[in-house]
């Protein structure tokens, strides 16, 4: 089983690259942002609760996100692997994910971190906000807050996977295809081990 954590700040291109990865390697895409937005649009209790945090540029509480991931892992227990996009965002979530995957005998294979400069991230997110209508992408102050949260709360997850020898950094600038080729090289090297 091939389990990949696709990592990087908001606007790094995780969603775009995930689509290519799941298609090429026949994996299931678990995007917590998409799951939460679906809950919000359906106005579920979880969605309404999550929206309060998202609108402020804050992380949704661990127990909410972990519950959603656990449900998806059970639902797709026969999958050939997963791409985790936007999860884990805290070391607590990373440890919990390891625990859940051990039940399936399939740990995280690698973490791919897309590295993009701050100014580029802000420009990408503001542009995405115009196109998608996502409220969390339309305010530069909210975007800057999200990047701060990423740096303080999410960045430590990188060290978690570095200690396990699973961290791989990818230069996240260039065309979508160029970035995807860099990702494939790392995945193929990992699969070959």
Query: What CA–CA distances, in Å, run from 59 to 13, 25, 27?
Result: 19, 29, 26
Indicate if 168 belongs to the active site. no
Indicate if 37 belongs to the active site. no
Closest listed residue to residue 170, CA positions, set 115, 106, 92, 94: 115
Active-site annotation holder among 51, 96, 146, 182: 146
Active-site annotation holder among 37, 128, 166, 168: 128
Phi (first) and psi of residue 167, to 5 degrees: -85, 130
Indicate if 124 belongs to the active site. no
Indicate if 89 belongs to the active site. yes
Q: Residue 138 corresponds to which tokens in the numbers above? A: 């339309």
Active-site annotation holder among 37, 51, 72, 89: 89
Active-site annotation holder among 124, 134, 145, 162: 134
CA dihedral 32, 125, 151, 30 (to 10 degrees): 20
Indicate if 75 belongs to the active site. no
Catalytic residue positions, numbered: 14, 89, 128, 134, 146
């Amino acid at each position: 089983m091939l389990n990949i954590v696709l990592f990087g700040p908001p606007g790094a291109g995780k969603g775009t690259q995930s689509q290519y990865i799941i298609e090429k390697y026949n994996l299931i895409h678990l995007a917590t942002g998409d799951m939460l937005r679906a809950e919000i649009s359906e106005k579920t209790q979880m969605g309404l609760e999550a929206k309060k945090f998202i609108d402020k540029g804050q992380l949704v509480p661990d127990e909410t996100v972990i519950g959603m991931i656990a449900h998806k892992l059970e639902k797709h227990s026969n999958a050939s692997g997963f791409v985790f996009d936007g999860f884990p965002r805290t070391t607590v979530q990373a440890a919990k994910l390891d625990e859940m995957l051990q039940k399936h005998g399939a740990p995280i294979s690698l973490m791919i971190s897309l590295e993009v400069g701050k100014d580029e991230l802000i420009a990408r997110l503001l542009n995405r906000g115009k196109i998608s209508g996502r409220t969390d992408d339309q305010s530069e102050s909210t975007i800057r807050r999200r990047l701060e949260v990423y740096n303080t709360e999410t960045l430590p997850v990188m060290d978690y996977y570095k200690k396990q020898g699973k961290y791989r950094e990818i230069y996240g600038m260039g065309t979508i295809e160029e970035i995807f080729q860099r990702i494939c090289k790392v995945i193929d090297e990992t699969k070959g081990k």
